[in-house]
Amino acid sequence: MNRWISRALCGLALFAFSTLGLAQGIVREAPKDVKPAVIAVSATPPIITVDGKEDRFSPGVRIRDLNNMLVLTGNLAGKTVYTVYKRDAAGLVHEVWLLTAEEYAKVGGINTATPEGLKSFLDLLALIWSARTLGVK
C-alpha cells in the first residue's frame, strides 16, 4: 500500500511541474470585436458612462486589468479608465480590458467604421497585447 501511495504522489508531482512549463508559454491574444472607450464608473456600479453617454455594466461583467487579472466593479467606483470593451446580447457592457493612457492614445483615435481602420486598430491592439505578454513597457 505504501508503494502505491508514493508512486501516486510522484506521478502527481511530475504532472504539476510539467503543467507549470505549459502555463508560461501561453501567448495572450488581443480581443476581437472590441471598441475603444473612456469609461467613467459611477460611485454606485453598474451605472457607468461610456464616452460621455450613460450606460450600464452587465450583471456578469468581466473586467481585466493590465496583467489580465479580474477586477471587481467596486474597485473602479468613482474612477475613469481607458478601455476596450464588448457588449452582450442585451447591449450592456459585458467584457472590459483596461488600457494605459499611452495604449489608449494609440488605439483611441482610429476610426473602426472602415475596414482599413478596423484592421489597423486590431493590428495595433495585437501589438499592445504581445508587448504585455513579453513584458515590454
Cell numbers found for residue 42: 459611477
Q: What three-state secondary structure class fits 84?
A: strand
For residues 4 and 44, what is the distance between their CA atoms, to the nearest angstrom? 56
Domain boundaries, the chain: 35-134
Given a contact cutoff of 8 angstroms between Cβ atoms, the answer to whether 110 and 124 are in contact is yes
Residue 135 Ramachandran class (φ > 0 left, ψ -120 to 50 alpha, else beta):
left
Q: Determine the residue type at 74.
A: G
Residues 49-107: tens digit of each pLDDT? 999 999 999 999 999 999 889 999 999 999 999 999 999 999 999 999 999 999 999 88
pTM more than 0.85: no
User: Percent helix, strand, coil in the chain (nearest 5)?
Assistant: 40, 30, 30
Give the bridge partners for 50, in sequence order: 39, 53
* pLDDT above 70: percentage of residues in the chain: 76
Residue 133 predicted with pLDDT over 90: no
For residue 21, the model assigns a pLDDT of 47
Cell numbers found for residue 83: 478601455
- Most confident stretch, 20-29, 111-120, 125-134: 111-120
- Most confident stretch, 83-87, 113-117, 128-132: 83-87
Assign 8 a pLDDT band (cuts: 50, 70, 90).
low
